[in-house]
Amino acid sequence: MAGDGEYERDRNYITTRITADGRDGRPVEPGRYRLVVARACPWANRAVIVRRLMGLEDVLSMGIAGPVHDERSWSFHLDPDGRDPVLGIERLQEAFFRRDPDYARGITVPAIVDVPTGAVVTNDFAQITLDLGSQWTAHQRDGAPELYPEKWRDEIDDVAEKVYRDVNNGVYQCGFASSQEAYDKAYRRLWDRLEWLEERLGDRRYLVGDTLTEADVRLFTTLVRFDAVYHGHFKCNRRKLTELPALWGYARDLFQTPGFGDTIDFEQIKTHYYVVHRDINPTGIVPSVRTRAVGSRRTGGRSSAGARSATARRPGRRPVRAGAAARPRLSWPRAGPASHARRPPPVNRAGPTRGTLRSAVPGRGPARAAGPAAEGVRWRDRGRRVRLRLGRRGRYGVRATGHGCRSRQRSRIGGRAGAGRGVGLGGTGSFGGVLMNPPDGSP
C-alpha cells in the first residue's frame, strides 16, 4: 500500500521459464509439470483458458486450490483429505518452500510445479500464458489458435498493458484503496478505460485484429467477474457490465466460446472475494448464487433442486411443458455507440461471423437484426413483446442462442453457453451461472 492510500501489487515473481529448448533448465515434457490454479482467481483463470484453447489437458495436469485461503497460502481443502492428489501437499506454500526455504514473497496462482521434485518452477502469470501458446506447440491440438501472432504483437502489448493497468489491476485499486483520493483516482482511470474499450469494441469483434488473441483472454477474466464481484464488493459501481452494450456483447461472445465460459465457477468466485477480504466485508456474508441447470426454463419450473415442479404455473404465465427446451433470451442495448443505438437491432456477438437478417414485424414496419446469418428466423408480435428466435451453429461447434426481448426497460439473458456441457448463464441481466461439470473431465 502506497503512502497516499493507493494499492500497489507486488509484481516480483519467479520468472523461470519452461521452454521447448530448455534454456532455463526446464524443458517442455508431457506429464512432468502440474499447473496449480484457483477457479476464483482472475490471474489463474487466464492460464486455465489458454490450457484449454491449446488442448494441453493430457500433457499438463491441473490442480485446483479451493476458493478460501489464509495468510499462509492457497490450500487444497476441496480435495480428498485436503491434499492435492498428485503433489501430495496441503498448501501451495509447500511447493514454494521446496524451491526456496526462505521464500518471502507472495505465494500466488497460477503456479507451475515440477512434479518429480515438488518445487515450484514459475508463478509469472503473464509469461505462463505466452509460453503455453509458443513453447508447447509440439503438444497442442490441431487448429489451436495463435494468441500472440508476430504481426500484431506491438498492438497486443499496448492494449494488454492499458487493460492491466486500468482494468485488471484497476478494480483492485478501487477495492483496496485506503483513502478517498486514491479510490477516486483509480475509479476515474477504470471508467475512462472501460469507455475506451466500449468505443473500441463498437465496430469489431476482438480487441486486436480479426481473431482471438492474448489481449482478449486478459480482458475477459475481469469482465466475467465484474457484475458478480467488482461492481459491489470493490465499489466499481458507476454502471454494470450489462449496461455497456458493446462490452456486454463481447463478454457473452467469449463466454460461449469453448475454453472461456466452461472454466468459470461463480460460486467459488463469490466465496473467495466475500470470505477472504474481511477488511472489505467484515461479516463474511456471501451473496447468493442462483444456480440453474442448463436447459431449465425461466418461466415455470426451477432446476434440479425441485423447489417447483416442471409444470408449475406463475400468475399470468402459460404453464410449462415438462421437458420443454429453454427459450433463447438475450438483452437489448440501453445506450452506447451509434452502431447500437437503433431498436431493433439487438447487440449480437453470439455467432462467429457477421451478417444481416431482415424481416418485418406486423404493425411495426421493417426491422433489422444485426448478427450472423441464421436459419429458421421467425418474428412474433404479442402486443409490446417481440421475440426474435434464431438458431446458428458457429465455427467453434457451439449452439448459439438468438436475441429476444421482454420490454425495452428490462432485459435478461439465459439459454446455453460454452459447449453446452454443464455451463449456464443465469441471473437477471448478468452472468450468474456456475460450472456444474468440467467439460474436459479434469477436476
DSSP-derived secondary structure letter, 14 = -
Contact, 316 vs 396, CB < 8 A? no
Residue 376 Ramachandran class (φ > 0 left, ψ -120 to 50 alpha, else beta)? left
- Annotated catalytic residue: which of 7, 103, 164, 172? 172
CA 131, CA 147: separation in Å to the nearest integer? 11
Q: Considering only CA atoms, give the Rg of the chain.
A: 22
Tell how far CA 328 is from the center of its chain.
20
- Annotated catalytic residue: which of 7, 13, 33, 41? 41
Confirm whether 13 is a catalytic residue.
no
The pairing of beta strand 61-65 with beta strand 33-38: parallel
Contact, 300 vs 313, CB < 8 A? yes
Q: Which three cell numbers stand for residue 276?
A: 477472504
CA 161, CA 154: separation in Å to the nearest integer? 11
Please list the helix, strand and coil fractions of the chain in percent, rounded to the nearest 5, in that order. Answer: 30, 15, 55
Contact, 129 vs 51, CB < 8 A? no
Confirm whether 174 is a catalytic residue.
no
Catalytic residues: 41, 172
